[in-house]
Amino acid sequence: MNDFDFFAGHWDVANRRLVKPLSGSDEWDEFPGRSVATRHFAGAASFDEITFPTKGWSGLTVRVYHPGTRQWSIYWASSARGELDTRPMVGAFDGDRGVFYGEEVVDGRPVRCRFLWTVIDRDTARWEQAFAEEGSEDWETNWIMDFTRT
């Protein structure tokens, strides 16, 4: 249940986000972020707030561990949308790599979503988001965050 303990602390974040996911475009937007993460419930919950100073909005993530299933549920909210996304990403870690799946909406259509968390070392980590069209096994990575502990 302590999979996200590594994440507690302050981070600089290098973001690389695909401008138009699932459109065939390869145009990326790169921008900075700053994140502060905390652990709760003796490691069975994790919370972080990230600010994107050049974008003018912030986000927060709540992660909660279910001891019966040994899986995490991850929820996201952004100041730009002003709401908590109540459809969780659900998954688990295997060593230093976590894989989580859920649903998202892109241009009004439902798509499958995948998060990959990679703990590189004590001071660096990577998060990736990818989408796949319904019925497809082709995942398109559309957002990468490289975290460096400050």
Q: Tens of pLDDT along 29-43?
A: 999 999 999 999 999
Render the burial of 112-147: b for 16+ CB within 10 Å, e for the rest: bbbbbbebeeeeebebbbbbbeeeeeebbebbbbbb
- Per domain, the residue ranges of the chain are 5-149
pLDDT for the residue numbered 134: 83
Domain 5-149: which CATH number of 2.70.170.10, 3.40.630.10, 3.40.50.300, 2.40.128.20: 2.40.128.20
Confidence band for 15, pLDDT divided at 50, 70 and 90? very high
Question: How many whole angstroms separate alpha carbon 65 and alpha carbon 123?
Answer: 23
pLDDT at 135: 82
Model pTM score: 0.93
- The pLDDT score that the predictor gives to residue 71 is 98
Say yes or no to pLDDT of 136 above 90: no
Q: What is the mean pLDDT of the chain?
A: 95
Q: Which two tokens stand for residue 121?
A: 């070392």
